[in-house]
Amino acid sequence: MREPRQERSRTTRRRLVEAAVECIAERGWNGITVAVIAERAGVSRGAAQHHFPAREDLVAAAVELVGETQLIELRTRSADLPPGSSRIEPVVDMLFNLYAGPMFRAALHLWVAASTDDALRSVLVPLEARVGREAHRVALELLGVDESHPGVREMVQATLDLARGLGLANLLTDDTRRRQQIVRQWAQVLAPALPQAAPAGS
Amino acid sequence: MREPRQERSRTTRRRLVEAAVECIAERGWNGITVAVIAERAGVSRGAAQHHFPAREDLVAAAVELVGETQLIELRTRSADLPPGSSRIEPVVDMLFNLYAGPMFRAALHLWVAASTDDALRSVLVPLEARVGREAHRVALELLGVDESHPGVREMVQATLDLARGLGLANLLTDDTRRRQQIVRQWAQVLAPALPQAAPAGS
């Protein structure tokens, strides 16, 4: 009986965290409570409060889920891309679209709420630093570039900062068309600035 | 007696709007009321409510003040820059620092609040579209570039989106050092991508 109960508990927890990310993206940090999240997840309030006594207790799990989900999505979608500089435009497109989606929207609500809430800030800052480093590592890997060349580190950072700026521009209006034009232009800027890493075995 | 009274009224209104921007930057949209702003401005609640019956009535004036103040600051600080491509790095530095400051922080609070508040959104979207166009026009002017060249429009847009992304990265922690490195790298990318406009009279 022990295994299934642990598994049920893990499933419940996962559903609550997924519901939390959706609720934060839609209603903002100030619009959510554990009760709201429990209802969205189809979980009883008691069970929700057992896993997450307060909404603050959801933050670490939510940020982890967002980071992990985005990583899996990027890795899956980039698996079939060709090597070399022709992968730059599709990778930039993927990155920019990722930051224009509901998960970045949830992160944005958390960041802005944390800027006026010291307790939330102290939870969020180390989490976001870790997610930021991970995003940088994955961007390097997907672009297939070697960071030891001068300027490469800053160009990859600028790509992620630009992605976040474009995500912000997509918050109140649909900015897709303009973003597509910037994807094309950005890929043209990145191509000569990013020396491709030597293929494995060369 | 008529002139001084009108002038007093304008001064009161201006102090309220300045206080509103400061309060929104520090406490967020959900942390403010007209009473909080009146206290910060050193104005009676009655006088504040005469000018701005509800905090929503302050939004247009606050966004206008931010746009106008930033424009004046940019124009003043760029007046003595040399013409040609050597002005690119100081202009990028100015733009990036502007978006890392309290006025962008206030805008960020408003945008995120508007994403879950339809009334605020309907006020903010047309205002922000206007401020965005104005920022683009000023960036072109300060960089001294001609938008009719292919790609220039997107590069200037990307510069402003990057500035907003860097502003976001400066929200919870002091990101100045990393931002300076991106300024240098970005100026190197922009210089060859932006053909300078012909000097007047040539």
B136-167: per-residue pLDDT in tens? 999 999 998 888 888 899 999 999 999 999 99
Q: Chain A partners of B125 at a C-beta cutoff of 8 Å?
A: 172-173
- Rounded to whole angstroms, what are the CA distances from B11 to A61, A122, B42, B170? 49, 40, 12, 32
pLDDT digits 0-9 by tens, B82-113: 888 889 999 999 999 999 999 999 999 999 99
Residue A182 in any domain: the answer is yes
Query: Nearest residue of B to residue A191 by CA position?
Result: B189
CB contact under 8 A, A185 and B161: no
In chain B, the residue whose alpha carbon lies closest to the alpha carbon of A161 is B165
Look at A112 and B114 and tell me if their CB atoms are within 8 Å: no
β-strand partners of A196? A145
C-alpha B39/C-alpha B19 separation (Å) is: 9
Which residue of A lies nearest to B173 if distances are taken between CA atoms?
A125
For residue B44, being part of any structural domain is answered with no
ipTM value greater than 0.90: yes
| Two structure tokens written together for A21 | 């990310």
pLDDT computed for residue B201 by the predictor: 42
- Asked if A121 reaches chain B (Cβ–Cβ under 8 Å), the answer is yes
- Residue B197 near residue B145 (C-beta atoms within 8 A): yes
Within a domain: A50: no
Instruction: Band the pLDDT of B3: cuts 50, 70, 90.
Output: low
Q: Does B119 reach chain A within 8 Å, measured CB to CB?
A: no
Distance CA A18, CA A25 (A): 11
Q: Does residue A171 belong to the interface with chain B, where contact is any CB pair within 8 Å? A: yes
Among B188, B197, B189, smallest CA distance to B147 is for B197
Q: In this structure, is residue A141 part of a structural domain?
A: yes
- Token pair belonging to B53: 């019956």
Would residue B83 count as lying in a domain?
Answer: yes
What pLDDT is recorded for position B49?
95
Percentage of residues in chain B with pLDDT exceeding 70?
95
Which ranges of chain A have pLDDT less than 50?
Answer: 200-202
**CA closest to A160 among chain B residues:** B165
Say yes or no for a CB contact (<8 Å) between B116 and A158: no
B191 in contact with A, Cβ within 8 Å: no
A48 in any annotated domain: no
B173 contact residues in A (CB cutoff 8 A) = 125, 129
pLDDT tens digits along B46-77? 999 999 999 999 999 999 999 999 989 999 98
pLDDT digits (tens, 9 = 90+) for B28-52: 999 999 999 999 999 999 999 999 9
- Residue B61's pLDDT is 93
- What is the reported pLDDT for B197? 60
Structural domains counted in chain A: 1
Is the CB of residue B109 less than 8 Å from the CB of residue B63? no
Domain span including residue A68: 56-193
User: In a mutagenesis test of the B interface, which of A99, A161, A164, A178 is the best target, namely the one with the most B β-carbons within 10 Å?
Assistant: A161
Q: Which of B129, B168, B182 sits opposite A158 (nearest CB)?
A: B182
Burial tier of A8 (Cβ tally within 10 Å: 0-12, 13-18, 19+): exposed
Contact list, A89 vs chain B (CB under 8 Å): none
Which of B31, B125, B161 is opposite residue A165, by nearest beta carbon?
B161
pLDDT in tens, A15-28: 999 999 999 999 99
Provide Rg for chain A, Cα atoms.
Answer: 19
d(CA A91, CA A111): 26
> B171 and A115: CB-CB below 8 Å?
yes
Nearest CA in chain B to A164: B165
Q: How confident is the model at residue B199 (pLDDT cuts 50, 70, 90)?
A: low
Which residues from chain A sit within 8 angstroms of residue B181, using beta carbons? Answer: 154
Long-range pairs for A147-154 at CB < 8 Å and ≥24 separation?
A: A149/A195, A151/A193, A151/B185, A151/B188, A152/A193, A152/A194, A152/A195, A154/B181, A154/B182, A154/B184, A154/B185, A154/B186
In a domain, A38, yes or no: no
Interface of A with B in 72-91 (CB under 8 A): none
DSSP secondary structure string for all residues of A60-79 = HHHHHHHHHHHHHHHHHHHT
Residues 6+ apart with CB under 8 A from B41: B12, B15, B16, B18, B19, B48
φ and ψ of A183, to 5 deg:
-55, -50
A165 in a structural domain: yes
Tokens 């206007």 belong to: B130
